[in-house]
Structure 1
């Protein structure tokens, strides 16, 4: 059995060894398939089973013409790394653990922070673009709010990690984010490419302790119920077993 994230090599192996089941996992958040539609469709055509990390990506797989077996199996979070969150913190440190690429919208966050800073001069913004994964829990523990105003997103595992760490999150309603973010329930939505709206949402969390508490409790509960690695492993085992 071959499990692949979409490599052409896996597709070629399937051509030469057609009896070996081929499970294709789609995690793409950069919309690369729009630039490489030919290879995207060719790879999909050879898959015996496709898993995607969000409902958004499953829709894209179907749009590309794949009619075979497919299922959403999200990425997971190791809750043990984050402990048990306490009450919301009253500080004003914003963190975004995000690569400096266009899709992550960090330029929008920086412009929004300039607006926030005028009303809250004590506020801080930390953009961590080169974090080692083992350092992520520490960066999150030092912050009060997690923000990433994405322009596209396959799922957004960084948001799930922030929720596990007990931070309220602000995100855009793009890609796979609506799978886990329900506005004013597990996080706050902000408009895409709108620094004024983002600044308003940040200030809302600064000023509303009850809302922060609600988002923290609901966010952590959601991760505990749906995004722990043991559940993800069981789901993948079931997929593999179905093809053997």
Structure 2
């Protein structure tokens, strides 16, 4: 049995997003007899065990903690020290663990958050295979600017990898720009399995609608992505001002823009039309999509976009930009005349176009049915986790770990 050590800034049971979900969806589908997975990640919460088995991954936790931290606490002292500290503490922990477990490979989840410790480990263990997954949602320009203090090691995070797996062509191109000359495997993420399953309790969804304050005639827009600059949630709030009173916006998620978004909502006198749900577990986030009518996320940058794919799997009409990896699955007649339509494309930072797209969706139910059917069929065909896990094992792990 081969052993792989994963580097990930955070992991279950808290503070997870698409990258952490990808690790779990993949490792849960690979037989323990084939690969044994370990992980070095931040602990954050002092109540959580330092070592714990989650699914098929033995998790080793490090870093500064506090009791019952919130998502917003990650950006405040003392927990905000964990990200820079992780770059070196994770490398030290990995080297120490390697003496005991003798890993055959290391796997870094995202260059900007976990590539540096992998690069350091590789310096001391050049014969251990190094896999880098590119799943970044922030723009490469922003990432490179923030990584300047560690630039030599950040460059090695790319160049010392034995293979790179990217979730979009956009990120594959970034790897080449960072002078990676080895093999790149393009393997997309999958949609949330609960959205794909399309099996849900209608009464439970109806109860959620009532809990969210939905009245007869109301239309719910929803966004289930992190509340960070790249997601441009403020633009959707601005678009709401251009739409009728019966259109509401359900915001599901946490992030460092929560306070700013609440202030903007108050300034625009939209507090009665915007609901801040907060961070919810991935196991129930599907219910919020099912309770809504339209998914809106006008991202300024995106590695791929798990939330978009999951919304499509739930047959929600999707309004989004074509930033980054989104352009690989979101198509409309205007921007992609040669593609099957899967959504409504808007420009970055354009509340007017979002408002117009919402009006188009509400006015054309037959068009919506056709496009949402197209989108779901595409997701089922190209973005499912069984296929992703199979490709990761056969095209990535088996290829470099002998």
TM-score (norm 1): 0.92
Task: After TM superposition, give the deviation of residue 42 of structure 1 in Å.
Answer: 1.7
Task: After TM superposition, give the deviation of residue 75 of structure 1 in Å.
Answer: 1.1
**Aligned-partner Cα distance in 1 for 2:241–2:194:** 35
Residues 1-244 of structure 1: pairs in structure 2 closer than 5 A: 1-5=105-109, 6=111, 7=114, 8-31=116-139, 32-35=142-145, 36=147, 38=151, 39-84=153-198, 92-117=219-244, 121-129=245-253, 130-184=279-333, 185-238=341-394, 239-243=396-400, 244=402
What is the total number of aligned residue pairs between the two structures?
238
Task: After TM superposition, give the deviation of residue 78 of structure 1 in Å.
Answer: 4.0
**Aligned-partner Cα distance in 1 for 2:309–2:303:** 13
Q: 1:81 to 1:203 in 2, by over 3 A?
A: closer
Structure of greater Rg: 2
Cα shift readout 1:182-202 (whole Å, capped 9, x = no counterpart): 115111100101111111011
Task: After TM superposition, give the deviation of residue 91 of structure 1 in Å.
Answer: 6.1
Task: After TM superposition, give the deviation of residue 83 of structure 1 in Å.
Answer: 3.2
Which gives a bigger RCO, structure 1 or 2 (Cα 8 Å, sep 6+)? 1
Moved over 6 A (4+): none
Q: Is the 8 A contact 1:92 1:206 kept in 2?
A: no
Task: After TM superposition, give the deviation of residue 33 of structure 1 in Å.
Answer: 2.9
Point out where structure 2 has 5 or more consecutive residues left out of the alignment. 1-104, 200-216, 254-278, 334-340
**Aligned-partner Cα distance in 1 for 2:118–2:172:** 20
Moved more, 90-99 or 151-160: 90-99
Q: Secondary structure at the match of 1:4?
A: strand
**Aligned-partner Cα distance in 1 for 2:144–2:368:** 37
Task: After TM superposition, give the deviation of residue 81 of structure 1 in Å.
Answer: 4.7
Task: After TM superposition, give the deviation of residue 215 of structure 1 in Å.
Answer: 1.7
Q: Secondary structure at the match of 2:165?
A: strand
**Aligned-partner Cα distance in 2 for 1:93–1:202:** 11
Point out where structure 1 has 5 or more consecutive residues left out of the alignment. none
The structure where strand makes up a greater share of residues is 2
CA RMSD of aligned residues (A): 1.8
**Aligned-partner Cα distance in 1 for 2:386–2:345:** 29
